[in-house]
Amino acid sequence: MDKDRVIGSAKVVKGKFKTAVGKATGDAKLETESKADKIEGKIQNAVGSIKDAVRDA
């Protein structure tokens, strides 16, 4: 498993946590940041998946 996949998954989890905190506190900025974290994490996870596929080929 590529380290990008691990880091990407962690960023997605971080984004979900920020979403929950942002909704609970009514912080729109935090909710916006959470969306960016989730997207960045998904992209990094995808890059890691591609690296794994290339390495396994």
pLDDT of residue 57: 82
Q: 3-57 pLDDT, tens per residue?
A: 999 999 999 999 999 999 999 999 999 999 999 999 999 999 999 999 999 998 8
Amino acid making up residue 1: M
Domain ranges of the chain: 3-56
pLDDT of residue 1: 78
pTM metric for this prediction: 0.85
pLDDT of residue 2: 82
Q: How far, in Å, are 1, 12, 27, 57 from residue 9 at the CA level? A: 12, 5, 24, 23
